Chains A and B, each alone.
Chain A
Amino acid sequence: MSTLATAAMTTIRGRVVSVEKETHDTFTLTVTPAEGQALEPFEPGQFNMLYVFGVGELPISISGDPEDAERLVYTVRSVGQATHALVSRRPGDVIGVRGPFGTSWPVQAARRKDVLVVAGGIGLAPLRPLIYHVLRHRDDYVRLLVLYGARSPRDLLYRKQLAEWARAADTQVLVTVDYGGLSWRGHVGVVTTLFRQLRLHPAETVAFICGPEIMMRYVIRQLEARGLAPTDIYFSMERNMKCGAGFCGHCQLGPYFVCKDGPVFSYQQMRPWLDRHEI
């Protein structure tokens, strides 16, 4: 096995420090390296393969601060057997960690420009490291604009942080839900309806999007209609990632392996493949 393959396939032991409930079905796990193990640094947008021993392995985006070298943070929605097993870990439990894998949000492309983050549902999790990065290096960027849509108020992630980010200088945070009850006094409507509340400078903006693929398609249409160039639009894709290193082919999309060539792609790069049927 080559050095690259060996590194990709090496699992380290991570110890679960905490499991915090974010919403009714979503949890945030904090993991530190077990004794004698070391964490690989990661870039915003990358993911790890997390192994729940005896259950299965899952690709999970890292949702923590990339400059915190001591721990890895993941926000996981419990939707199946493996994710349920993962969020059911207790502090002190050990899980397997491979990676980090994949491409990262190209933060350098947004230097001296407005950073537009558009997230849908659990898609805010892989974007949070990017937001941390921008807030830590505030002078390198102009405005930070965060648009976040969720299914309902009870599905909103990181509510306290959203409020904190909204108070930061030159930062605008707009939150919406698809369905709101009477107690919700915020915005109701799909995430694309938030664009009307935004003053975009298309030539000076780089957009970073993550959410369900249909939502991202609609967001990209809005961005194009508002004059953003395909080279200034980046998004994160999800496919059936298995090996994490482009060997197994499970996550192939056209000429790309999403685990290795993605998950972050520019719209310019992926445009020919997005609307193509039967791939």
Chain B
Amino acid sequence: MESKSLEEVLREHPFLEGFKPEHVRKMAELALEVQFGRDQIIFREGQESGLFFLILSGKVALEVSAPGRIFRVQTLEAGEELGWSSVLGEGGKHFQARSLETVRALAFEGSRLRQACEQDPSFGYALTRRLLKVVAERLQATRLQLLDVYAPRAAKLI
């Protein structure tokens, strides 16, 4: 990862903006550098993947499979997060994730993140707050997407 330490890389990632230095250090201790080639399935819908990723470069598509069809519902890029539900540790993945180009990321075991949160509530609060922000942004974006505002008769839903 160039000549930067994991801690330096994490400090520059938007997800950790405003994190205390000791919390960034904690994340660095848990991080594992990973890389995916173009068109690689990172995880499948329903899969019990326990990994949470911070994307450093490249682009990932979130997809939903339907009979004979795959819907691409969102793309994530450098500076964004992938697999936030791993931190909850409940159930399988909601979407399939596919790398659209070579992706570099930092991976975190959800179980180890949860353990770190339980051991250090201050770290847990910081991480949970940040995850909540991600989830809220995704929820708002999904609602706007559902409104289908560019349709000829936008918002005429009922």
Contact = CB atoms under 8 A, between A and B. Distances in A.
Are A and B physically bound partners? yes
Interface of A: 25, 77, 79, 120-121, 149-151, 155, 178-182, 184-190, 192-193, 196-197, 211-212, 214-215, 218
B145 interface: yes
Given A184-B72, A188-B75, A211 B145 contact: no
Contacts of B59: 185, 187
The listed residue with most A CB atoms (<10 A of its CB), out of B14, B144, B148, B150, is B150
Nearest to B100: A185
The listed residue with most A CB atoms (<10 A of its CB), out of B75, B79, B140, B147, is B75
Given A79-B152, A212-B150, A214-B149, A187 B144 contact: no
B134 to A, nearest CB: 10
A175 to B, nearest CB: 11
B18 to A, nearest CB: 15
Contacts of B109: none
B148 A178 contact: yes
Contacts, number: 74
The listed residue with most A CB atoms (<10 A of its CB), out of B71, B79, B141, B144, is B144
B155 interface: yes
Contact of B141 (A181, A182, A189, A212): A189
B154 A214 contact: yes
Given A180-B72, A188-B73, A196-B80, A155 B141 contact: no
A81 to B, nearest CB: 13
Given A179-B72, A180-B72, A185-B100, A215 B61 contact: no
Interface in B95-152: 100-101, 137, 140-141, 144-145, 147-152
Nearest to A151: B150
Interface in B37-91: 59, 61-62, 70-75, 77, 79-80
Contact of A178 (B62, B79, B145): B145
A151 B151 contact: yes
Interface of B: 14, 59, 61-62, 70-75, 77, 79-80, 100-101, 137, 140-141, 144-145, 147-152, 154-155
Given A181-B72, A185-B100, A192 B141 contact: yes
Contact of A196 (B62, B73, B79): B79
B145 A190 contact: yes
A189 B139 CA distance: 12
B150 A150 contact: yes
Nearest to A178: B145
A196 B62 CA distance: 17
A187 B58 CA distance: 12
A214 B156 CA distance: 13
Closest 3 CB pairs of A and B: A151-B150, A121-B150, A212-B149
17 contacts: A77-B152, A79-B152, A121-B149, A178-B148, A178-B150, A180-B61, A182-B72, A184-B72, A185-B101, A186-B75, A187-B59, A189-B141, A190-B145, A193-B141, A196-B14, A196-B77, A196-B80
Contacts of A186: 75
Contacts of A178: 145, 148, 150
Contacts of B62: 188
A141 B110 CA distance: 46
The listed residue with most B CB atoms (<10 A of its CB), out of A121, A184, A187, is A187
A25 to B, nearest CB: 8
Contacts of B148: 151, 178
The listed residue with most B CB atoms (<10 A of its CB), out of A180, A193, A212, is A193
